């Protein structure tokens, strides 16, 4: 029995406030909400279970150490945890690339089809996954390709330009256009239904 | 980096920054710019919500149980009282207070 079960109905923002007071069970409750997507993301980028677990542990440790400085006006804790996982995974994949071959562009471009067999996902994750996949599917192919190479491959804009054989300026424009469209699509979906992950 | 000449250049930088896709010199220059530009900061925050959502576009993998245990262990190894002092010292040294990726220390 995990102590974090007592926090099941708490909002994320309430959990961060408890973490700031040194409540270890509140951190575990946040891990129970975001540990799985964070680990899935880190593993996708790093293609190595040990490195992925190390990144996720470091991200939750950074929240544990810095929760008092967490400013909810700058974004939700879910966004913080997943963005931080992405940033750290990209840092690690770049650091490691001299030691081993990182995942190739083909792996970076593969789209999620859904949870693997045997994994039961909570409603929020299912909804959120469906929405981002639909939004990505709406993007013109060159925009989606540029975004996914950067996000899942950890490639810089310059590296993406050389991978796809387009001028750097074109790649920058595609990434910004793709991000803008995803933002609008997700916002539109959020208007129809409150995003559970924007809860404060 | 060359100084951006118009708003859309800044938006491109904000998108690239949120994706961690800028070259290191560009990233550092944009991070300095962000500190004094609320408009770009807001735009970057919006893009960061998109990048957080993109995490859900990858197949779900169950993390090892040892990871949850490791996260729980760090809280016992690093009690808050000690880490608060360190956080304050760090915040003073770096002149920043908020805990958010935009203010992340770069390797």
Burial class (CB in 10 A: 0-12, 13-18, 19+), A163: middle
Q: Do B54 and B72 reside in the same domain of the chain?
A: no
Closest CB to B98: pick one of A56, A74, A83: A74
- pLDDT band of B96, cuts 50, 70, 90: very low
- CB contact burial A47-61 (16+ within 10 A = b; e otherwise): bbeebbbbbbbbbbb
Closest CB to A128: pick one of B18, B56, B106: B56
Two tokens at B29?
């220059």
Compute φ and ψ for A8, nearest 5 degrees.
-50, -40
Half-sphere exposure of B66 (CA within 13 A, CB side): 5
Provide the domain limits for residue A26.
Answer: 1-102
pLDDT at B57: 92
State the ipTM, two decimals.
0.86
Number of domains in chain B: 2
Q: Do A152 and A96 reside in the same domain of the chain?
A: no
Q: Please, are residues A55 and A10 in contact by the beta-carbon 8 Å criterion?
A: no
Contact check, Cβ <8 Å, B55/A70: no
pLDDT > 80? residue B102: no
Q: Please, are residues B101 and A84 in contact by the beta-carbon 8 Å criterion?
A: yes
Q: What is the pLDDT of residues B21-60, one digit of tens each?
A: 999 999 999 999 998 999 999 999 999 999 999 999 998 8
Among candidate residues A102, A135, A170, the one where a domain is terminated: A102
- pLDDT band of A1, cuts 50, 70, 90: very low
- pLDDT band of A122, cuts 50, 70, 90: low
- pLDDT band of A138, cuts 50, 70, 90: very high
Q: Report the predicted TM-score, pTM, of the whole model to 2 decimal places.
A: 0.84
Among candidate residues A75, A102, A129, the one where a domain is terminated: A102
Of residues A90 and A4, more confidently modeled = A90
Q: Do A68 and A48 reside in the same domain of the chain?
A: yes
């Amino acid at each position: 029995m995990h102590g974090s079960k007592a926090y099941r109905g708490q909002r994320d923002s309430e959990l961060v406030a408890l973490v700031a007071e040194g409540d270890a069970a509140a951190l575990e409750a946040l891990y129970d909400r975001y540990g799985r997507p964070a680990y899935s993301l880190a593993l996708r980028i790093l293609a190595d279970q040990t490195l992925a677990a190390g990144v996720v542990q470091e991200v939750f440790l950074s929240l544990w150490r810095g929760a008092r400085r967490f400013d909810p006006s700058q974004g939700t804790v879910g966004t913080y945890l997943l963005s931080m996982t992405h940033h750290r995974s990209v840092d690690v994949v770049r650091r490691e690339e001299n030691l081993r071959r990182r995942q190739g562009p083909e792996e970076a471009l593969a789209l999620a089809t859904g949870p693997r067999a045997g994994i039961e996902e909570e409603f929020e994750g299912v909804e959120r996954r469906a929405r981002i996949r639909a939004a990505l599917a709406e993007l013109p192919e060159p925009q989606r390709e540029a975004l996914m190479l950067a996000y899942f491959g950890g490639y810089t804009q310059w590296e993406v330009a050389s991978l796809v054989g387009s001028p750097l300026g074109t790649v920058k424009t595609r990434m910004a256009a793709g991000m803008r469209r995803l933002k609008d699509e997700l916002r539109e979906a959020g208007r129809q239904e409150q995003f559970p992950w924007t809860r404060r | 980096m060359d100084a951006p000449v118009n708003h859309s250049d800044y938006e491109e930088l904000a998108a690239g920054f949120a994706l961690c896709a800028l070259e290191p010199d560009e990233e550092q220059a944009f991070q300095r710019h962000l500190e004094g530009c609320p408009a770009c900061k807001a735009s970057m925050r919006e893009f960061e919500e998109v990048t957080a959502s993109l995490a859900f576009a990858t197949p779900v993998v169950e993390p090892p149980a040892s990871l949850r245990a490791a996260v729980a262990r760090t809280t016992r190894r690093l009690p808050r009282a000690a880490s608060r002092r360190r956080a304050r010292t760090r915040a003073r040294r770096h002149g920043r207070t908020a805990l958010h990726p935009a203010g992340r220390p770069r390797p």
